[in-house]
Amino acid sequence: MTGDTTPRVGIIMGSDSDLPVMQKAADILDELGVPYELTIVSAHRTPKRLYDYAGSAEQRGLRVIIAGAGGAAHLPGMAASMTPLPVIGVPVNVTALSGQDSLLSIVQMPAGIPVATVAIDNATNAGLLAAQILGTSDDDLRQRITDYRKGLEQKVLDKAAKLEK
């Protein structure tokens, strides 16, 4: 897949108010060199747009969808119902319920239509998981993920070295 600029990950969110959280998925995909597209699709306010987006995703070349929403977060599950592509759900903390409402809305899918759900507001992990899925058939990407993890390890070791007495 090296050199291929076709978006393989579709990042969608229910509202522009989700962007500060969802941008973190885009950032990690940028870091790993994974082409993606990003837009707003609301399950409740633009249901036809959701139908069109999810229904055409596979044919347009996407291989994973990351969907983030807050509150009554139906976007990931509804997207998953309309495509055979894996969908990763990001619960977004936007209401008085601190994201618990969104988490439960996304994670409690009925058997048959899974959504891989990450922690509240953890769009970084959604991006990483999408990259790992793509990495199963892309050796170069898998190496970049391994290097990223080595970087995480090194940061901890550096902090420990500074802290130790």
| Count of residues near ligand RP5 by CB under 6 A | 12
SS3 96: coil
Q: Which helix (H) or strand (E) holds 92?
A: strand 87-92
* Segment near ligand RP5 (CB under 6 A); pick from 2-10, 15-23, 56-64, 131-139: 15-23
Q: Is 15 in the site for ligand RP5 (CB under 6 A)?
A: yes
Residue closer to ligand RP5, measured from CB, 14 or 135: 14
Instruction: Tell me which residue of 71, 68, 67, 75 sits closest to 102, measured CA to CA.
Output: 71
Distance CA 114, CA 135 (A): 20
Three-state SS letters, 10-74: EEEECCHHHHHHHHHHHHHHHHHCCCEEEEECCCCCCHHHHHHHHHHHCCCCCCEEEEEEECCCC
Check residue 77 for interaction with ligand RP5 (CB under 6 A).
no
User: Binding ligand RP5 by CB under 6 A: which of 12, 54, 69, 130?
Assistant: 69
Nearer to ligand RP5, 79 or 94 (CB): 94
* Binding-site annotation, residues for substrate: 15, 18, 45
Query: Which span sits near ligand RP5 by CB under 6 A: 12-20, 50-58, 128-136, 148-156?
Result: 12-20
Question: Looking at the DSSP assignment, which residues form a beta bridge with residue 91?
Answer: 69
Does 85 help bind ligand RP5 (rule: CB under 6 A)? no
Tokens of 51: 């139908």
Binders of ligand RP5 in range 36-55 (CB under 6 A): 42, 44
- Contact between 101 and ligand RP5 by CB under 6 A: the answer reads no
Binding site residues, ligand RP5, CB under 6 A: 13-15, 17-18, 42, 44, 69-71, 92, 94
